[in-house]
Amino acid sequence: MSECRVCKPEKRCRGCNTILKLSCNWNKSSYNKKDYICTPCSTLEKKKWCHKNPEKTLISCRERMRRWREKNREKNKARSRLQYYKHIDKERERSRLYSNKNRTIKNAQLAVHYALKIGKILRKPCEVCGSHAEAHHEDYSQPLDVRWLCSTHHKRIHHWVN
């Protein structure tokens, strides 16, 4: 085995017992700072832990993403905007196809929009929390029969229905 001039003294991986050069492919164990583990063994350990603890893995992943989105709000908006304009033709086509496929839904939305515009109906606060609301149709065949819900409660209702 040739000596690397840059590498520090060798240690053994606690997973596979191979010799590790400390400047190369290794991680210090999170359990014991004097313990060493190679990257493949570390990855395998993480996968096993995630498989045993799926609820913790999912929660921590969601929490990390939420924190990242909060921290990088402007970056995320810019990326989202860039993605939209990059695929604007596909977005327009998708929107047109959805409108054609769901004509009764689109007609009900347009009827509410027009009725609000001419003053036939008035926008009310959310039925649940009292904040700014949007129209929710229980039945699209009755376009002006709507419930007023904020975006949060509107999404919850659609989530429960579907």
The whole-number pLDDT of residue 1 equals 44
Q: Which residue has the higher pLDDT, 152 or 39?
A: 152
The dihedral built from the CA positions of residue 96, 101, 104 and 105, taken in this order, carries a sign that is: negative
pLDDT band at 78 (very low <50, low <70, confident <90, very high): very high
Domain range list for the chain:
10-52, 88-161
Per-residue pLDDT reduced to its tens digit, 126-138: 999 999 999 999 9
pTM: 0.47
- Contacts by 118-122, CB closer than 8 A, 24 or more apart: 120/144, 121/146
For 140, residues 6+ apart whose C-beta sits below 8 A from its C-beta are 104, 105, 107, 108
**Beta strand segments in the chain, E:** 10-12, 19-21, 27-28, 36-37, 134-137, 146-149
Asked if residue 84 lies in contact with residue 91, where contact means CB atoms within 8 angstroms, the answer is yes
